[in-house]
Amino acid sequence: MNTLDQYQSVVASCLDVYLKKAADYGTSWRVYRCISIVDQIYIKAWRIRQIQENGVQKIADTIESEFMAIVNYGLMGLIQLSLDKDTPIELSVADAEQYYRAQAAVTEALMLQKNHDYGEAWRDMSQESFVDLILTKLLRIKQILANDGKTLVSEGIDANFGDIVNYAIFALIHIRY
């Protein structure tokens, strides 16, 4: 499989989990403010880091499932940023899927552009580096939020969420292929 096929396969499996959770819970995640989504991703990334460093895992959720959750929360963050404040909290599963697919397409396009410029340098990176990069991007988002969403020369919150999603997908490609 080439990168795009692997990428799309990972996104499809993440979408499957997202849709099943939407069927179970509705779109309750829509109440999250940006900082709450950041903290949800932080919890997942920090847990992966602790398992990597300690070599011990005491609950059943796998590192793979945590990276999938990071993908889904990152896409939820992008969805939240794209929606008007008047958009209802409860979305139909069909609408939730449409928004997910739209943001997944944006992150895929970003990956293709960056892969063109950087080559596939990520293929030589470690899972530990992906976690560290995700944690760094989360800290950057927290700082941007502390600055009322303003940056002087840096990318915004959406670009950081896009990178987080792509790093988690790259980690999943490493795990699966």
Mean pLDDT, the chain, rounded, equals 97
pTM of the model: 0.97
**Angstrom distance (rounded) from CA 8 to CA 13:** 9
Tell me the per-residue pLDDT of 128-143, one tens digit each, with 9 for 90 and over.
999 999 999 999 999 9
Residue 53 scores a pLDDT above 90:
yes
**For residue 120, what are its two tokens?**
């596939």
Q: What is the pLDDT of residue 1?
A: 80
**CB contact burial 115-137 (16+ within 10 A = b; e otherwise):** beeeeeebeebebeebbbbbbeb
- Per-residue pLDDT, 55: 94
Encode pLDDT of 66-123 as tens digits.
Answer: 999 999 999 999 999 999 999 999 999 999 999 999 999 999 999 999 999 999 999 9
Q: Closest Cα partner for 71 from 154, 140, 177, 173? A: 173
Tokens for 53, please give them: 């460093």
> Tokens standing for 134?
């995700």
3-state per-residue secondary structure call for 66-85:
HHHHHHHHHHHHHHHHHCCC
CB 165 within 8 A of CB 107: yes
- pLDDT band, very low/low/confident/very high, at 63 (cuts 50, 70, 90): very high
The pLDDT score that the predictor gives to residue 24 is 97
Give the pLDDT confidence score for residue 14 in this predicted structure: 98
